[in-house]
Chain A
């Protein structure tokens, strides 16, 4: 299914509306946006936001801000924090542009960046380590493995989103763990940070089994100070969970989770194809008219509203659904539906105590909710062969027919991947498929590069470039793979080493929020030794040393005689005496034999 870009009322706009409507006064609010996506998918986007006045935050009087997190942030002098847990891959080809314009998601695994107040870089790094250690305990994640080799200091890729009075004393540090497996144990502490803790409101829909069974999911925690022009500063915590569920998969009952083949007669086959027998079928992609309900997809219904989430009924409703207006939707009693003017969005004001369910029956409809076309398609792979060298290739496609796109690529590479930046090459392919090589400097306007130091820090590379309209740029560079020390290999060394995803920040209008895209993480195979190596080395070197030593020692100590003399001497040694005895015994036996004969 193609993404229709001309009709698009951006999903991002809807989310942006929330952002500006709620950032001001209410102390706590929560929202859920449900949107069916092509190919039987459902995007559920949860947002929770709490404000605490700066004064009570500083005095450690926590009401909507979680105490555990607040104390960690104060202890590490962290003024702004962004933490992401992501699994899966966002299918931009089918699903369009990312929720929140990619501002609420991270690279595969865990990504953390924070602005830390410190006098110098060393102090900032010490506080950063404190922060990662403490967050690691709070979120049950291996964040404590973010050490100096996994920490970078991006220059242009990230901007603080909060209002900071002393920006010059803040240090931005960024760390990623691409190999971290995000799982249920990260969701439980995440839920504990919410004031209603999954007991009331939209957070009751969270179920670890469903969430981590999603095709793509991202959890984020953001903390920032917000100072409105009129009024006192507040410290804002925003938690989001975005997930794309496969409706068919989620509807499978927990007791019978094994997928079974659909009987032949129930298959929807494409009649326009020609078939040579009865048992072949080109499955027909169903229109978006698939039936689902909250109960079926999430395994539970929504339990009332969180009483803290102040909603005045008219302007704000906690739950919104984006389906065409002609679509029939049934919902629980006592719920008020509000339709938005755009013709696709309807929101629900819930009654405080009753459970809420939403049911969308199967229906054939022609119209679809338009999806926004992504501004840039990005793909990043490792190329090359062999154990010694390799190459990185990035394919950046600008789908727009008219506008060029400016962006910044941020790469944080592990130290054992040593890029050769002089090999950076660019190939540009226009709409007609003609490709030509151009010097990379034609595209790259600015480069920020900090080379790696073995075992101390990784490479940090920020490239600012521009892709013309309707063309595709392929960037490549070569790298060398380092050989690690014996103890530096993980237990599963042959699996390969994770390379963090590249972060692409698309620069739009000067004041607009930037759009972020993250590539998938990569797996780098390194030369892996045989791990019985140390003993082999010990034995081999010992043998060589012993050989050399023995020769030298013997030459120095032994007496040199001729062969005959040696024989004569040999008769007097222990060996000679034993030999002569043996010969004597043999002679005697032979004599006996002759006697018998």
Chain B
């Protein structure tokens, strides 16, 4: 054995003398193997390099790709700017046509100019301003103009109001008359007050300006309140109360009319006729803003909740009374089937409650009212029909059937409650004007709400780096932003109907992107799970790889040092 090794040694001794010396210096029994050939070292280097190349250029990218979360690019900067109101300052220029058929052209032009001056002096809120325009003679034929702003499809601004200036004998001072069914304001003035072109501030102009200012004061206050974010404004308290009561804007509202009674009667009502008669015209007027579906039901044996305080008999009023603070417990939500309607859009519930004969009549204690609004939910009306004495026993019962006429007060109240719940301003008296005003208020509110949703989405995606952002969200965001700027330009040009339409799309797209389902489910793996999955594989595989790499690096460093030494 020994001989063999020595043989082996001697054969190699010629090639590397130094190692032989080394071996001889240490122990004579153990022979050190010959140094590796440069080819072998080269091969090993290549093997290790190849392994690491695969890891770095193939393994790592695959791991990165398969475990990373897809986050579509969002225009964070732009979204934040929208929410901060930097991009769009909404303005509401209302165009008002003035027709003065009795006046000369120069006179009427002068009237328009001076009235505009007077208006501008009165106006304190710059975003909402009235622009007067002299109507053409042809426009007058359709007196009153379009009923609602949304019908204007052209490029020009909507006409908010037509003012007709008419002279009337026997007046001492000008008076105004607003048409309840159209958007027309008639101003009657005594012929003596015809504005003279020389006068800079005629009385008639001032009067018209004050009238217009008065007509739009509530709308102005509301828009100012909305744009300021609910802080400023002279009557912020009442406006915020009104806005809190009204429903969020929706394309479609479901109206649900329910007849509730604790006993066995009435069991039927003339609901179809009543809806057709009392409600359909109002709903038709609303079509440019929202759509409505109607459903009705009759529910007997609908008792109060056991928790609710029962009505108390009031001797003075000779009626059963409910306390104002107990009205919130009136609806027995657990038992009355008032579930929301199916389909998109919120449900507005209108409850017609016919009290039991033993508790009739029933009123609210404080003000003897028979109806009230439940904010953002609906309205209640207490109907006390005349009792009928039916059978021989003399007991008095409710009528079995409610006729259309007996439903009239209830449905008048319901339509008033509906207007309030939809956020319609209380003034002016003309319904078309109120609805126009509602369009502007809604457009402003939707613009702000969609913008702030964008801001929230931007903040959310920045604060949670592990949530995925699908491409659909990016598309929705892009659409929202484009619709928002369309809304803004429509507003600037006075096309409020178009602005509302754009704002509706912007709002729904913003909501869709914010409430995207796949973003809600975050990918979450606890760290210990990751360790448990990765370690069994990476431990045994990684250790030889890393040790091999370290050895090779060490060798290269040593070789480099040796080369430097040898050079020196």
Contacts and interface: CB of A to CB of B under 8 A. Distances in A.
A67 B541 contact: no
B36 A62 contact: no
Interface stretch (B112-120, B240-248, B289-297, B510-518): B289-297
A553 B272 contact: no
Contacts of B342: 71-72, 75, 134
B31 A559 contact: no
A594 interface: no
A113 B47 CA distance: 67
B300 A192 contact: no
A63 B36 contact: no
A565 B544 contact: no
Interface string A179-215: 0000000000000100111011000000000000000
Query: Most A CB atoms within 10 A — which of B27, B271, B342?
Result: B342
B31 A564 contact: yes
B33 interface: yes
Given A196-B300, A199-B301, A71 B544 contact: no
B268 A546 contact: no
A539 interface: yes
A553 B541 CA distance: 9
Interface in B545-562: 545, 548
A60 B294 contact: yes
A549 interface: yes
Interface stretch (B227-235, B354-362, B529-537): B529-537
Contact of B272 (A56, A67, A200, A561): A56
Interface in B302-353: 303, 335, 337, 339, 341-343
Given A71-B342, A538-B533, A553-B544, A61 B296 contact: yes
Contacts of A538: 532-533, 536-537
Contacts of B256: 67
Interface string A152-185: 0000000000000000000000000000000000
A549 B297 contact: no
Given A538-B536, A553-B51, A557-B548, A61 B271 contact: yes
Interface in B21-51: 23, 26-27, 30-33, 36, 40, 44, 47-48, 51
Nearest to A66: B337
B48 A63 contact: no
B438 interface: no
Contact of B47 (A62, A71, A539, A556): A556
A67 B31 CA distance: 99
A561 B33 CA distance: 7
A68 B337 contact: yes
B213 interface: no
B267 interface: yes
Given A538-B532, A538-B533, A62 B295 contact: yes
Contacts of B300: 195-197, 307-308
Contact of A539 (B23, B27, B44, B536): B536
B265 interface: yes
A5 B44 CA distance: 95
A64 to B, nearest CB: 8
Contacts of B295: 60-62, 67, 71
Nearest to B535: A542
B5 interface: yes
B196 interface: no
A569 interface: yes
Given A71-B341, A75-B342, A59 B51 contact: no
Contacts of A567: 30
Interface string B242-279: 00000000000000100000001101100110000000
Interface in B171-189: none
Interface string A535-571: 1001101110111011001101101011011011101
Contacts of B303: 199
B540 interface: yes
A569 B33 contact: yes
Contact of A565 (B32, B40, B539, B545): B32
A149 B297 CA distance: 37
A553 B548 CA distance: 9
Interface in A233-251: none
A196 B31 CA distance: 106
Interface in A47-79: 56, 59-63, 66-68, 71-72, 75
Contacts, number: 119
A565 B31 contact: yes
Given A63-B297, A538-B536, A68 B30 contact: no
Query: Most A CB atoms within 10 A — which of B44, B264, B539?
Result: B264
A556 B36 CA distance: 14
B393 to A, nearest CB: 10
Contacts of A200: 264, 301
B298 interface: yes
A559 B40 contact: yes
Contacts of A67: 256, 295-297, 337
Contacts of A197: 300-301, 335
B339 A68 contact: yes
Interface string B439-459: 000000000000000000000
B33 A546 contact: no
Contacts of B540: 542-543, 546-547, 549-550
A545 B297 contact: no
Query: Most B CB atoms within 10 A — which of A308, A535, A564, A569?
Result: A564
Contacts of B23: 568
A196 B298 CA distance: 11
Contacts of B30: 564, 567-568, 571
Nearest to B41: A559
Contacts of B536: 538-539, 542-543, 546
A71 B30 CA distance: 96
A407 B548 CA distance: 77
Nearest to A199: B301
Contacts of B33: 559, 561-562, 565, 568-569
Contacts of B541: 545-546, 549-550
Contacts of A559: 33, 36, 40, 44
A192 B297 CA distance: 13
A468 B545 CA distance: 78
B552 to A, nearest CB: 9
B398 to A, nearest CB: 11
Contacts of A545: 537, 541
A546 B343 CA distance: 57
A562 B293 CA distance: 93
Interface string B2-13: 000100000000
A71 B345 CA distance: 14
Nearest to B543: A550
20 contacts: A60-B296, A62-B295, A63-B267, A134-B342, A307-B267, A308-B264, A308-B267, A308-B300, A538-B537, A543-B540, A546-B539, A553-B51, A553-B544, A557-B44, A559-B44, A564-B5, A564-B30, A568-B27, A569-B32, A571-B30
Given A59-B272, A62-B297, A568-B33, 20 more contacts: A62-B295, A63-B297, A67-B256, A72-B342, A195-B299, A196-B301, A197-B335, A199-B303, A539-B536, A546-B539, A546-B541, A547-B540, A550-B541, A550-B544, A553-B545, A557-B548, A565-B31, A568-B31, A568-B32, A569-B32
